[in-house]
Amino acid sequence: MGAHHPECPERLYAIQDRLVASGMEMLVTHYDAPAATIEQLTRVHDADYVQRIFAAAPTGTDPLALVWLDGDTALNCHTLEAAQHAAGAAILAVDLVLSDRHHAAFCAVRPPGHHAGRRTSGGFCLFNNLAVGAAHALAVHGLERIGIVDFDVHHGDGTEDIFSGEARVLLCSSFQHPFYPGTGADSTAPNVINVPLPRLTDGAAFRAAVGAAWLARLDAFAPQLLMISAGFDGHLEDDMAHFNLHTADFGWLTREIHLLARKHCQERVVSCLEGGYALSALGRSVATHVDELIGQV
C-alpha cells in the first residue's frame, strides 16, 4: 500500500523469521492458499461490492501505481490477487481442520480482513477472510455453531456487520474504545459479545474482562469450530494503538480457546492474521500463538 504504510510485506517476513528462530518451523506444515472464488466471496459480501473491488484494481504492472479506496486502504496491481488468496487461505484452513488432517491452522495472510463488511472496505481490508472461511464452514460443511474470537485492538466492524443476528455464529470481540473505527460499544445483537476497553488496558485487566465476558458463553454455545481474528496490535510495543498487552497475554487467550476447542470440537481451530505492526512483537506473538494452537497439553 505504499512506502511507510504499516500494512507491509515485512510483517510476514517477521513472522517467518521468528518461527524459524523459535524452532516452531519444524512443527508446522505449510500450504499455499488457493484463490477464493466469486461464489465464495459473495457468501459474505454483496455481489456489487465484489465487482466494485475487481473493477477498481489497477491493471498495469507498476506496483507503485495505487488506487485508494479510502484514506487507509489502497490497491496496487498485485493486491486483488493477494486478497483473493488471503480469503482462500481461510477456506483451505477450514477444509483441512474439518477433514481432520490438522487440528488447527494459522493463516499468515495479507491483507487482513475484519474491517471488510458486506459492502465496505476499510482499515487495510478488502475481503473479510475469516468471514469467508466461516461461511464456507456453514454452507459446505453444514456446521451449526461456530465461535469467533476477535482480539485485535480495533473493533472488527466488518465481521459484526456480516454475522450480526446470525444464530449459528457467536462473535466475541475485544477492542480499544473509543478508537478506530469507533463502533462496537453499543452493539445489541444477541449473538455478539463485545468488550470495549479503555486505552492503556494492561494484561491483567484484559484477561479479567474477556475471561468474564466470553469464556462461559463460548462454553455454553459448544461450538463445532472455533475461529480467531488474531490481531496483535494491542501489544505494548505497537504504536498503532494504546493497549499495554504482552506476548504472554496473547498466549493465555489462545490457550483458553484451545482448551475450549479440546472440550467441544476435537481441537478444531482456524486463526487468521489481522493486525500487528511492530515487527519484532508481531513475530514473537505469532510464534506464541501458534505454539498454543499446537497445544502441548
Show which residues are catalytic. 115
Torsion of CA 165, 47, 31, 168, to 10 degrees: 20
Rounded to 5°, angle at Cα 210 from 259 and 192: 95
Burial profile 60-78: b = 16 or more Cβ within 10 angstroms, e = fewer:
eeeeeebeebeebbbbbbe
Place of cell 462473535: 171
C-alpha grid cell, residue 39: 461464489
Closest C-alpha to 125, from 30, 44, 193: 44
- Report which secondary-structure segment, H or E, holds 230: strand 225-230
Spatial distance between the Cα atoms of 44 and 202, rounded to a whole number of angstroms: 34
